[in-house]
Structure formats: structure tokens, C-alpha cells
Amino acid sequence: MAAFVLPFEKPVVELVTRVRELRALAEQDRQFLPELRRLEEKAGRLAKELFSDLSAWQKVQLSRHPNRPYTLDYIGHLFDEWLELHGDRSFGDDAAIVCGLARYRGRSVVVVGHQKGRGAKDNVKRNFGMPHPEGYRKACRMYELASRFGMPILTFIDTPGAYPGIGAEERGQSEAIGACLAAMARARVPVIATIIGEGGSGGALALGVANRVQVLEYGTYSVISPEGCASILWKDGNKADEAAERLRMTAPDLLRLRVVDRVVEEPAGGAHQDAAAAAKLVDAALHTTLTELLAKSPDQLVDDRYERFRSLGAFVG
Amino acid sequence: MPWPTRKRGGLDAHEKTSLGKGVFRKCDGCGETLTAEALHETFEVCPQCGQHHKLSAARWRDLILDDGKLEVWDAGLEPTDPLSFADGKPYPDRVAASQRSSKAKEAIEIGAGSINGVRVAYGAFLFSFMGGSMGSVVGEKVTRLFERGAAQRLPVVLLQASGGARMQEGILSLMQMAKTVAARERLRDAGVPFVSVLLHPTTGGVAASFAFLGDVNVAEPGALIGFAGPRVIETTIRQKLPEGFQRSEFLLDHGMIDRITSRLEMKQELGLLLGHLVLTTPLRARSSRRLPEVDD
């Protein structure tokens, strides 16, 4: 994977790279171990400091970082016996959403996630993680399958949004997303959604009607992209940084608005600096949440999900 | 998901009709000059070409409900400003301006009424209120409409005209999509029908939540209905969209709606539909068959 470095990442990336080099040395020669420990700790502290006052727009850029781990990366780290399942049974198979069965800590689960591509060719295949209706219909089929066979649903959200195109409209993008929301609401199993990157509007929500929603530290979730918002408000897509601030789309904002239940910390410099470490942190959060949800009956799970979303909104009167 | 900005003149049909006699209007379809009075009488449908112009929620009540009577629910709900949002104007100011011009608190009205003698839970979007956009109040009222429909066993008839989720309430607007659909599913579980009526325009977060989840979906002729707005699609694919794209007729062709119904026949058709769905004697549910007992 070609390393891509955002300007504001530079100092952190240099630090993290030095730690990585020293780790390789320490593996061969134990005399570097104390030095490694010292540098690791320092790097962690410095990275935190450097990233402590990132702007909303910088976090948006991190959430879209091309080196960031994607759904299939997390699947590789978190699950055994992964078996991808394809197709919507009506039109085709959409590679922008991956679905399948897997084993998580001994238990069979259904996994549904947006999938972005690595590099140009893969991105064409994955349509940059922007699903068509057939992707959502595949997801919908999985939610129903999971509910039928009592398997928890674990989703991974990472999309700029559902694709706005001619074919998508012809085949009913709206209906496909609406049907996903309905199928998730009805699922008689635990549902946990993890926002690993971009949570782009309705196209993200179609994987997000969960009992618990968790977001990675540099993940985002928004009703509209900052660029789209800026072009509406100021007729200027270049003011996306200002729009990102106003949309309250970063992890701490989402937690405050109760749109997410938990923020999962990322390794120093972000998930893309150490995918395995990021997966470990996601794993810990998933495990705690799933254990808690498994104590509930199917009816309780449906009601719990209903109440969770029922309580969201701000109004008086 | 933006609400479309107002174009041309900026007055909607409701305001125009209040201008009184002797005012002329041009049909958006055939360009014929008509008196505002004549258009008012035909519920804003052009007598020459059948073009459907926007109709206010108050006039929809007159058109659809018996005696035009709606027992209004939750008229007092008002939005707050959870994001402290400003876009040139602070969000509360924008809401206040919309409230003044539309004389309503928000972009939807709900309540109980009757259609040809069948009592229904009825809702209608006010497109003139911030483009009928769905924020917390609209989401809450649609949710209550479905919940009360289920509790009181009233079929739900919902007239939609909306640009989508309301940007000024950000992510909370998006959450209304999940909340309303979950409530719609409770209505389904209760075995109570939902008739979704799609008016011009129905796009974005409203289209991608409950609008297509009707037991029956009916649209007015020529309504723009879709997930993404035409401009967004044109910018994305860098080509002009074909004539009639995302119009009701296009949706009927692609199997997304059950019927296209002229506004002037809407009440009669809704009455027929409800007659079939509600006033019928249901067959005995067949789910009483037991699974065979299994010996341990």
C-alpha cells in the first residue's frame, strides 16, 4: 500500500515510523527493547498532543484517509471462518457492500460493511464505497437471514454516501435504503454498528439502525457531506472546512448528541498507522457490547433498538 | 440532503390564491394564462393541460378529508437549535420566518379525519415550510402518526412533499429516518395499512425512509420523486439527465409505485383503496398451524 501523508500528519507519521523501525531492530536485538519502550511511550504521548486539537475538517480528511483500514481489513483481524455471500437475488452483486458469515469469539455472526477500494482499479470495482440499490438489497437479505437464524449482526460503516446515478434511481435507491432501515429495525438479534471511517448520510444509515452504535476516534457521521453543505450554503464547495465544523459530525459531537453510544480510541496517529492495533481496540469494544446485548431476549432487543432511536431529536411543545 | 431553494417569484400556490380575484397566473405546464380563481377551484390543476401545481396543506384537507375536517394532533411541537446552526441566518430565525409566512409551527400537520367515511390517521407535509424538510419535529410527528395509527387501529394516509432531511439539524435529522421507519414497522406488525401518497417533490431522506414503504404507494402525475436531486446526479455523472427522469411516470415504469392518480380523483381512489384494505372481512389468519412436537 502506497503511503499517503496529509500535511498535518507529517510529525506524527515521522514519529510512528521511527518507532516501527526500532521495533524491527528490537525484534532482532533485545538490547533495543528499553529504548523501544521509551520511544513508544513518548510517541504515543506526542501523537496525542499533536492530534489533540485537530479541526473538524482535518478529522474528515482522516476519516477518508486512503491508507485507513477498511471493512475487509477488520474482517481479517476480527473474525475466523469468514465466508463472503454475494448478490441481491434480483439484479446483481454490488462490491461496494460486502456481506457474509463469520465466527466472532466462537459465535456465528452476520457481517455487513461498506467496502472502499485500494488503488484505482479496485476503487472502480468498489465504486469508491458508494453502493447501488443491489448493495442495499443484499444487506437487507443478510439482516433477514441473521434474524431468522439468530445470528448477531455486526456492521461496518464507511461510505461517502449511496451513489447518486441514473441506474441507482432506476432501480429504486430510495426504496432499497428504506427497506434496509425497516429490516434492521425488525431484526430479532443484537445489532452493533461501527463507524470505521466516513458515515455518509442515508447510505450509511442503511447499515446503522443498531442497538449500539460506536464510532472510531476519527470517524465521522453526517446528514450531508461538508462539500455538499458548503455548496448549498455558500455556493462554494471550497468552504467545506467551515461546513464540517457546523455540521457537528466528529466523534465527540456525535457522542454528545447521543447519536453514538461509544467512541473507540485509535492508535497513535490514527487507525491507518497500525491496523492490527486498531482492530484490537474495536474488538474490545465489540466484545463488551455484544456480551451486554446477548443477555436480552429477541423482543427486548427490538424494543431496545426502537427506544434508542425513538429518543433522538430535539424539540419543544 | 438540501431542501430546494425557492425559484421564480417565491410565492407558493397557497399564497397566490390569497391574492384574490382578477389575478392571473401562467400554467407551469402549457403556459396558458389562467385566473387564480379558476386554478383555486380546480385545486391548482390546470384545466387545459392537467399540470398539477403545488397545493397547500389546508387545501389538501379540503380536497381529501370529509368536510375538510382534521382533528389536529400535536400542533404545538416546535424545533430547537441543537447544533447552534447558522447559514447566513441563525436557524431559529429561519424557523421563525417560516412560521410567520406559513402560519404553521412546522413542516407537517397530522391528525384524525375521515375519507369517504373511513376514519384515518392523516398527515400532510407543508412544502412551503423550509421545503418540507424533515428535522426532529417532522420526524417526531410522523412517528406519532404511525404509533397512533397502530394503537387506535387507524389506517395511515400520509401525503409527502419534501426535499429531504433538514440540514440545519444535522445528524439528528438523519436519525429521524430510522425513528420513523421503526414506527412504520410497528404499524405493519399491528396489521394496519399505510397508504403513501407521493407529491411533488419527494426526495432525499423522506424518499429513502418511509415514503416507499407504503402497503400501497400512490403518486400524483409529473411529481419529481427520487433519492438524489437531479442537480446532484448531473454533477456526479457529468451529463444531462433525460426528459422525464425521476418523474412519477418514470417510477411507475420502473415498478416503484403502484399507481399514478390525478389530484382530482385522489379522494375517490383513496376511498376505494381503504375500502379494500379496511372494510373487508379478513380471512382467518393461517398462522395457527402448530409445528410438530419433537421428542427429546
Same domain, B133 and B257: yes
Of B173, B182, B207, the CB nearest to A309: B182
Task: Catalogue the long-range contacts made by B40-49 (C-beta closer than 8 Å, 24 or more residues apart).
Answer: B42/B264, B43/B263, B43/B264, B44/B13, B44/B263, B45/B262, B45/B263, B45/B264
Interface test with B, best of A166, A174, A205, A224 (most B CBs within 10 A): A174
φ, ψ for residue A216 (rounded to 5)?
-70, 155
Do both B164 and B81 map to the same domain? yes
* Cβ atoms within 10 Å, residue B245: 16
**Residue pair A189/B133 in contact by the 8 Å Cβ criterion:** no
**How close does chain B come to A23, measured CA to CA in Å?**
41
User: What pLDDT was estimated at residue A156?
Assistant: 98
- Supply the range of the domain harboring residue B44: 19-53
Q: Same domain, yes or no, for B38 and B78?
A: no
Q: What is the pLDDT along chain A (317 residues), one digit of tens a residue?
A: 567 999 999 988 988 888 888 888 888 888 888 888 888 888 888 888 889 899 999 999 999 999 999 999 999 999 999 999 999 999 999 999 999 999 999 999 999 999 999 999 999 999 999 999 999 999 999 999 999 999 999 999 999 999 999 999 999 999 999 999 999 999 999 999 999 999 999 999 999 999 999 999 999 999 999 999 998 888 887 899 999 999 999 999 999 999 999 999 999 899 999 999 999 999 999 999 999 999 999 999 999 999 999 999 999 99
What is the pLDDT, as a whole number, of residue B292? Answer: 64
Closest approach of A49 to chain B, Cα-based (Å): 27
Q: Are residues B115 and B234 in the same domain?
A: yes
Q: In 3D, which of A129, A128, A141 has the Cα closest to residue A92?
A: A141
pLDDT for B285 equals 54
Q: Who among A171, A186, A313 is closest to B175 (CB)?
A: A313
CB contact under 8 A, A259 and B211: no
Residues B178 and B237 in one domain: yes
Q: Is B296 contained in some domain?
A: no
Which of B53, B79, B98 is the last residue before a domain boundary? B53
Query: Do both B245 and B132 map to the same domain?
Result: yes
B182 and A305: CB-CB below 8 Å? Answer: yes
Q: Which of A232, A314, A316 sits opposite B172 (nearest CB)?
A: A314
Is B146 inside a domain boundary?
yes
pTM of the model: 0.93
The residues near B291 (Cβ < 8 Å, ≥ 6 apart) are none
Q: Quick one: pLDDT at residue A37?
A: 86
Q: Cis omega before residue B201 (within 30°)? A: yes
Chosen for mutation from A207, A215, A223 (greatest number of chain B CBs closer than 10 Å) is: A223
Bridge partners, residue A194, by sequence:
A156, A214
Q: Which residue in A166, A169, A313 is closest to B140 by CB distance? A: A313
Give B95's contacts in chain A (Cβ within 8 Å).
Answer: none
Buried b (16+ CB within 10 A) or exposed e, B155-178: bbbbbbbbbbbbbbbbbbbbbbbb
| Residues B32 and B123 grouped into a single domain | no
Q: Which of B197, B253, B204, B195 is nearest to B226 (CA)?
A: B204
Letter string b/e over residues B72-89, b meaning 16 or more CB atoms within 10 A of that residue's CB = ebbeebbbbbbbebebee
10 Å CB burial of residue A32 (0-12, 13-18, 19+) is middle
Beta-carbon neighbour count of residue B69 at 10 Å? Answer: 12
pLDDT at A6: 95
The count of structural domains within chain B is 2
Q: Across the interface, do A186 and B185 touch by the CB < 8 Å criterion? A: yes
For residues B63 and B78, membership in a common domain is answered with yes
Of A182, A247, A313, the CB nearest to B136: A313
Q: Spell out which residues of chain B touch residue A162, defining contact as CB-CB under 8 Å.
A: 208, 227-228
In a 13 Å sphere around the CA of B256, the CA atoms on its Cβ side amount to 30
∠ CA A112-A115-A120, rounded to 5°: 165
Distance CA B67, CA B54 (A): 21
B166 and B233 in a common domain: yes
Co-location of B28 and B146 in the same domain: no
Residues of chain A contacting B72 with CB distance shorter than 8 Å:
none
Looking at the fold, whether B27 and B111 belong to one and the same domain comes out as no
Place of cell 452476520: A110
Please identify every stretch of chain B with a pLDDT value under 70, giving residue numbers as ranges.
1-22, 279-296
Are B73 and B182 found together in one domain?
Answer: yes
Q: Testing the interface with A: which of B89, B177, B202, B206 to mutate, by most A Cβ within 10 A?
A: B177
B chain contacts of residue A184, beta-carbon cutoff 8 Å: 178
Residue B290 lies in a domain: no
C-alpha cell at B148: 397512533
The reply to whether ipTM tops 0.85 is: yes
Q: Is residue B197 in a domain? A: yes
The reply to whether residue B77 touches residue A209, judged by beta carbons under 8 angstroms, is no
Give alpha helix (H) positions in A118-250. 119-126, 133-149, 166-170, 173-186, 201-205, 226-233, 240-246
Place of cell 436480552: A296
**Residues forming a β-bridge with A77:** none
Cβ–Cβ of A223/B77 closer than 8 Å? no
Please tell me the predicted confidence (pLDDT) of residue A33: 84
- For residue B160, the distance in angstroms to the closest alpha carbon of chain A comes to 14
What per-residue confidence (pLDDT) applies to B290?
Answer: 60
Q: Residue B175: inside a domain, yes or no?
A: yes
d(CA A227, CA A64): 13
